[in-house]
Amino acid sequence: MEVVIYPDAERVARHGAGLVEAMLKVKPDAVFGFATGRTPIALYRRLVERHRTGAVSFARTTSFNLDEYLGIPADSPQSYRSFMDREFFDHVDIERENTHLPACAEGENPQRVGPAYEARIRAAGGIDLQILGIGHNGHIGFNEPSSSLASRTRVKTLTRRTLEANGRLFAADEFQPRLAITMGIGTIMEARRILLLATGAAKAAAVAGLVEGPVTAMCPASALQWHERVTVLLDEAAAAQLRYREYYDLAHRENRALKERFGDFYAPE
């Protein structure tokens, strides 16, 4: 696990966008796994800016989002489809039909959505780079604590804590879904490369669990310790509870020196 700590969230977004760009250079038709939430917005903004200057194109890419609410239509402003359109897809050249979310149409059996979504990911050749945030409770996607570390895309019931955290986006009289369809932890673990972003003090405990805690279903993100290629980008506040902070900084400096000499050997194949 590569852990990189920056003074602020803007630098986190810049480094994250740089990794997306590096992937596009090597593989212009890359398959991305995208995430919603407050954290990746700065990264999407940065990519939109880079697209405007002509530095990056998403024209040949495909994307799969981690999750989508169950029980609200895709065209609701609260859906994750709307979030992605608003924050990213509408501002870059990605083909709309190549963007996927695990959405359940009205009348469709939600239990069928997961296996069909997994089949689409497989048909696209798998995910090259998965972007993740982390919940206060250590969730990735909507894999709440106690999710199977081998789970696949399926319906999940959201915890009270997650409902409270996301409730800010819903008006008092508005329906807030308590269920979602999310990629499983097993699905996420199959991505070839993973980039997790966390910013702000509210994430510090979850980040400590992810990086330094035991691998446990009670902190779903800790499963990433078993993944070969994970980069965790943090701001100071999110890194505040890490015990091996000094080592991560040292390793980052050494890795940077190696990259300067030999090129980015972490570059995607």
Q: Which residues are catalytic?
A: 67, 137, 139, 144
- Check: CB of residue 32 under 8 Å from CB of residue 62: yes
CA 16 to CA 47: how far, in whole Å? 9
* Shortest Å, Cβ 19 to ligand PGA: 18
Nearer to ligand PGA, 119 or 169 (CB): 169
CA 191 to CA 230: how far, in whole Å? 10
N-to-C CA span, the chain: 18
Residue count at the site for ligand PGA (CB under 6 A)?
7
Nearer to ligand PGA, 24 or 204 (CB): 204
Beta bridge partners of 3: 232
Main-chain dihedrals φ then ψ at residue 167, nearest 5 degrees: -65, -25
Q: Is 38 in the site for ligand PGA (CB under 6 A)?
A: yes
Q: Which stretch binds ligand PGA (CB under 6 A): 31-39, 53-61, 144-152, 188-196?
A: 31-39
Q: Which stretch binds ligand PGA (CB under 6 A): 104-112, 134-142, 183-191, 208-216?
A: 134-142
> Which one of residues 39, 61, 99, 147 is an interface residue with ligand PGA (CB under 6 A)?
39
Q: What is the CA radius of gyration of the chain?
A: 18
- Beta-strand pair 99-100/179-182: unpaired
* Shortest Å, Cβ 82 to ligand PGA: 15
User: Which tokens hold the place of 217?
Assistant: 């279903």
CB-nearest residue to ligand PGA? 37
Interface residues with ligand PGA (CB under 6 A) are 37-39, 133-135, 139
